[in-house]
Amino acid sequence: MADPNREPTAATPTLLATLSGPDRTGVSSHIFARLGDLPVEVLDVEQVVVRGHLTLALLLSAGDNADDVAERIVAAGADLGMAVTTQPGTGDSHRASRTGRAAVTVLGAPLTGQAFGAVTGVVAATGANIDRILRLSRYPVTTIEFDVSGADVPTLRAELAAVSVREGVDVAVSPSGLARRGRRLVVLDVDSTLIQDEVIELLAAKAGREEEVRAVTESAMRGELDFAESLRERVAVLEGLPERVLDEVSREVRLTPGARTLVRTLHRLGYTVALVSGGFTPIVEAIAADLGIVHVRANMLEVVDGHLTGRVTGTIVDRAGKATALREFAAAEGLPLSRTVAIGDGANDLDMLQAAGFGVAFNAKPVVREQAHTSVNVPYLDTVLFLLGIAREEIEEADLLDTSKPIEGAASA
């Protein structure tokens, strides 16, 4: 038998055995029991189960016993009612193309065969290879992750962005391997991202000026107006409102479906979550306290004698300010920008999305979708977890173990 401490060479005789049939308990144990005391070294194993049908691939080094090993595996397959193929060859599964590792995540509702084929076609056309395929979720969205090697991430990301638009699916491309593991900082925009509302509009409604302010907000989010200028214009209509409206609006805001699940799961993973908002500190801090978030950056409304003056104080958190906050939070956490994730929807989030290692446009304006690393266009914020390689079953299992936490969002639909 080969020395277990020696890496198999390209000339090492190996046997690839593939078994396919109904899944049941004890398939692998039965196969290896059949092999008995034959000197077999396991080099690689891959298994997948789809709707109760199992496919198992075994790469073995058996030296001069390859024929005996093949016969016994065929016999084991017959015992189990499985189809078996065996193929002698040489070498291990490692390939030089295992450089350029990337994770390609496709999310669709539905995920059509045409879209799936378009994605895999682009991967092949760019010279990359799909090594593994894994389903991360089935409903309310289907998420499939491809483990790809030989990829140039920027090129693949650009090519698949066109597929995303054409086929109506969300596609994310990110470096794989160690680059995808470990602690991260996740920075979220608040209005129309973490929450369903625009807080300035809720406040303006208290002054009877909601429609007027909404028109300015929409124009600013499309990038048609300077954010700081538009903020001052909108805040001016709040002059004279009693300070208590801030508490009233804090109670009115609605979290986006999946927001709690997203933040709770990120915290369980040891990630740091931060909120960066062009909105207002009292309301953003109330949301952060509810979700257990420490890092917050937002604008401060001026209050005099218990009433809003219609002005903001201090440095305005605008497009550049959000990117600055991301960098400062990353530095405070001792993390490089490559280990940051930013999520937002408006033009004032663009600098932050581009500065982050992974920028996600969430139900965003067209200008934002075009410039972010990837986009999510379903109403569940926790689908971002799938883009980070976290399966729906893992999220559900963690929530079921913690019965004090309700499941909501995509993980409960």
Gap between the Cα atoms of 177 and 180, Å rounded: 6
- More confident: 9 or 327: 327
Query: Within its chain, how far is the Cα of 372 from the centroid?
Result: 14
Do 73 and 207 fall within a single domain?
Answer: no
Average pLDDT over residues 199-221: 90
- More confident: 11 or 242: 242
Lowest mean pLDDT among 1-10, 202-211, 265-274: 1-10
Do 108 and 63 fall within a single domain?
Answer: no
Do 172 and 190 fall within a single domain?
Answer: no
Which pLDDT score is estimated for 97?
A: 46
Classify residue 234: in a domain, yes or no.
yes
Do 63 and 204 fall within a single domain?
Answer: no
Strands of the sheet containing 358-362, edge to edge, are: 307-313, 295-304, 272-280, 185-188, 340-344, 358-362, 374-376
Average pLDDT over residues 257-282: 96
Classify residue 36: in a domain, yes or no.
yes
pLDDT at residue 410 greater than cutoff 90: no
Is 173 in contact with 162 (CB distance < 8 Å)? no
User: Could you report the per-residue pLDDT of 123-175, keeping only the tens digit for each?
Assistant: 999 999 999 999 999 988 999 999 999 999 999 999 999 999 999 999 999 98
Do 255 and 336 fall within a single domain?
Answer: yes
pLDDT at residue 121 greater than cutoff 80: yes
User: Could you report the per-residue pLDDT of 70-117, keeping only the tens digit for each?
Assistant: 999 999 999 999 999 999 988 776 554 467 889 999 999 999 999 999
Classify residue 293: in a domain, yes or no.
yes
Task: Determine which one of 191, 197, 318, 382 is catalytic.
Answer: 191
- CATH of residue 61: 3.30.70.260
pLDDT at residue 3 greater than cutoff 60: no
Average pLDDT over residues 349-377: 94
Helix H or strand E encompassing 14: strand 13-22
Do 57 and 82 fall within a single domain?
Answer: yes
- Band (pLDDT 50/70/90 cuts) for residue 207 is very high
Which pLDDT score is estimated for 1?
A: 46
Cα angle value 102/105/107 (rounded, 5°): 170
Gap between the Cα atoms of 47 and 312, Å rounded: 59
Closest by CA position to 277, among listed 369, 361, 199, 356: 199
- CATH of residue 254: 3.40.50.1000
pLDDT at residue 227 greater than cutoff 90: no
Classify residue 350: in a domain, yes or no.
yes
Do 139 and 216 fall within a single domain?
Answer: no
Of 181, 208, 233, the last residue of a domain is 181
Average pLDDT over residues 359-386: 94
pLDDT at residue 15 greater than cutoff 70: yes
User: Could you report the per-residue pLDDT of 281-329, keeping only the tens digit for each?
Assistant: 999 999 999 999 999 999 999 999 999 999 999 999 999 999 999 999 9
**This prediction's pTM:** 0.85
Q: What is the dihedral of CA 258, 259, 264, 270, to 10 degrees?
A: 110
Do 237 and 343 fall within a single domain?
Answer: yes
Which pLDDT score is estimated for 246?
A: 96
Do 208 and 229 fall within a single domain?
Answer: yes
- More confident: 402 or 234: 234
Classify residue 5: in a domain, yes or no.
no
Backbone phi, psi, residue 55, to 5°: -125, 125
At 337, list the tokens: 């920008």
Task: Determine which one of 189, 349, 351, 382 is catalytic.
Answer: 189
Which pLDDT score is estimated for 403?
A: 57
Do 250 and 398 fall within a single domain?
Answer: yes
Which pLDDT score is estimated for 2?
A: 47
Enter the DSSP assignment of 57. E
Which pLDDT score is estimated for 96?
A: 46
- Band (pLDDT 50/70/90 cuts) for residue 411 is low
Do 114 and 25 fall within a single domain?
Answer: no
Classify residue 2: in a domain, yes or no.
no
Classify residue 309: in a domain, yes or no.
yes
Is 39 in contact with 62 (CB distance < 8 Å)? yes
Q: How is 131-182 classified by DSSP, letter by letter?
A: EEEEEEE-SSSEEEEEEEES--HHHHHHHHHHHHHHHT-EEEEEE-GGGGSS
Q: Structural domain of residue 65, as residue ranges?
A: 13-90
Which pLDDT score is estimated for 179?
A: 66
Residue 131 designated active-site:
no
Average pLDDT over the chain reads 91
Gap between the Cα atoms of 78 and 317, Å rounded: 68
Of 47, 66, 90, the last residue of a domain is 90
What length does the chain have? 413
- Band (pLDDT 50/70/90 cuts) for residue 219 is confident
Of 181, 212, 229, the last residue of a domain is 181
Number of domains making up the chain? 3
Do 221 and 174 fall within a single domain?
Answer: no
Classify residue 400: in a domain, yes or no.
yes
Closest by CA position to 19, among listed 63, 89, 80, 69: 80
Residue 64 designated active-site:
no
Gap between the Cα atoms of 411 and 139, Å rounded: 8
